[in-house]
Amino acid sequence: MGKYLLKRCLYMIPVLLAVSVLSFTIIQLPPGDYMTSKIAQLQMQGEEASLSEIAALRSQYGLDRPLYERYGMWMWGMLHGDLGKSFIYNRPVSTLIGERLALTVTISVCSILMSWFIAIPIGIFSAIRQYSPLDYFFTFVGFIGISIPAFLLALLLMFGTYELFGVTVVGLFSPEYAVAPWSFGKVLDLMKHIWLPAFIVGVAGTAGTIRVMRGCLLDELGKQYVIAARARGVSEVKLLLKYPVRLALNPMLSTIGWILPAVISGEVIVSVVLNLPTTGPLLLEALEMQDMYLAGSFIMILSALTVIGTVISDLILAWSDPRIRYE
């Protein structure tokens, strides 16, 4: 197990490096830099930015150095927990994104748990009642779930709740808790609001998980040990839950690898639509303003979290399934 763990962790390094180069490239791609848009903005307001002032700001932010040096500086800082400084907010990036990132992770984890909670029972049902009307119904609903983009679902649900109850379900907190420091009450309040975004983000994953669960269970149910157990008179419920379901649950863990990137992507867009205080809206704003350090750090950290999450799911899988770690 130790060897496998080490191998898996070492393998993360090149992936993370590739991700960092990619995110840094993206940030460098837009023509001009933050200073250009800042100058344009100042000129629109009728203020003239003097050349020396601009040059001073440029060197202060390191914008006059060559590309590889800036990448080096950025990476070096990142390893030391210094993510650079946001131009828009004039604050260190790490203070800006800490809480937002935590909320993104919370919503993502909640939505994965929620999609399992919904998908596993439905998957089991669809497998044992294959080709029943309800099985077809769930298949159809699943297809629709995959087809509706997350932002549309968010928009539709927002519209629906507005029409039906006259309330807008935006934000993650009630007004009285929005700026309050963390307390037990605030956590409870968060729980009251988090289910809707978690549900929206999880819908596409849920539909996919139902298919995987159904498929795996159908494979297992046809095997001889099931028939043998049935012949011995083991009750149906016990027979089902004791072996086939346990075996069919394994793929759930291995699918995290491809569910997680989708969930993080979904979370970003849903939080833009619902205006949640998570990474999405800030990332969009940063990209629109060409705030390179903020946007770059966001993309880097979101990708890194996904990679780490995938590795963790691999490790859990290896722990639960010895066949994998001795491969």
Partner 1 sequence: MSLKFLNRSRTITPEESDRFLVASQWRLMWWKFKKHRIAVVCAFLLFVCYFCAIFCEFVSPYSPYQKNIGLLNAPPQKVRFISEEGFHLRPFVYPLTGGLNDDTWERVYEEDRSRRVPIRFFVRGSPYKILGLVPWDRHLYGTESGEPFFLLGADHLGRDVLSRIIYGSRVSLSIGIVGVFLSMAIGCIVGGISGYFGGAIDNVIQRLIETLISIPTLPLWMGLSAAVPTAWSPIKVYFGMVVILSILGWAGLARVVRGKIISLREEDFAMAARLAGAGEQRIIRKHLLPSFFSYLIVQVTLAVPGMILAETTLSYLGLGLRPPVISWGVMLQQAQNVQTVATYPWLMSPALFVIVVVLAFNFVGDGLRDAADPYH
Name the minimum Å distance from CB 281 to partner 1.
10
CA distance 96 to 282: 9
Q: 193 is written with which tokens?
A: 């609001």
DSSP secondary structure string for all residues of 256-268: HHHHHHHHHHHHH
Q: Is 137 in the site for partner 1 (CB under 8 A)?
A: no
Closer residue to partner 1 in complex, CB, 142/244: 142
Applying the rule CB under 8 A, the residues between 183 and 212 that interact with partner 1 are: none
163 binding partner 1? (CB under 8 A)? yes
| Interface segment toward partner 1; rule CB under 8 A; list 163-171, 179-187, 194-202, 237-245 | 163-171
Instruction: Give the residue among 196, 210, 222 at the shortest CA–CA distance from 137.
Output: 210
- d(CA 89, CA 144) in angstroms, rounded, equals 41
Is residue 294 part of the contact set for partner 1 (CB under 8 A)? no
Q: How far apart are CA 75 and CA 221, in angstroms?
A: 51
The crossing angle, in degrees rounded to 10, of helices 244-273 and 93-128 is 140
The verdict on 155 binding partner 1 (CB under 8 A) reads yes
Site for partner 1 in 25-54 (CB under 8 A): 26-27, 29-31
Give me the least distance between CB of 92 and partner 1, in Å please. Answer: 21
Give the contacts of 85 (CB within 8 A, at least 6 positions apart).
Answer: 61, 91, 92, 93, 293
- Residues 95-134: x/- map of binding to partner 1 (CB under 8 A)? ----------------------------------------
Q: Considering only 81-89, 95-103, 220-228, 304-312, which stretch makes contact with partner 1 by CB under 8 A?
A: 304-312
Of residues 262, 244, 264, the one with CA closest to residue 123? 244
Burial 18-40 (b: 16+ CB within 10 A, else e): ebbeebbeebeeeeebbbebbbe
Instruction: State in angstroms the smallest separation of the CB of 22 from partner 1.
Output: 7
Of 176-184, 190-198, 213-221, 268-276, the segment contacting partner 1 by CB under 8 A is: 268-276
Interface mask (CB under 8 A) for partner 1, residues 231-260, using x and -?
A: --------------------------xx-x
Cβ proximity to partner 1: between 22 and 134 the closer is: 22
- Closest by Cα among 239, 285, 255 to 97: 285
CA distances from 181 to 173, 177, 277, 281, 308 (A): 12, 8, 14, 21, 29
- Number of residues this chain uses to bind partner 1 (CB under 8 A): 53
Q: Any contact of residue 277 with partner 1 (CB under 8 A)?
A: no
Closest-CA residue to 207 (of 272, 129, 150): 150
Judged by the rule CB under 8 A, the positions of this chain that interact with partner 1 are 14-15, 18-19, 22-23, 26-27, 29-31, 143-144, 146-152, 155-156, 158-159, 162-163, 168, 170, 257-258, 260-262, 264-266, 268-269, 272-273, 283-284, 287-288, 290, 295, 298-299, 302-303, 306-307, 310
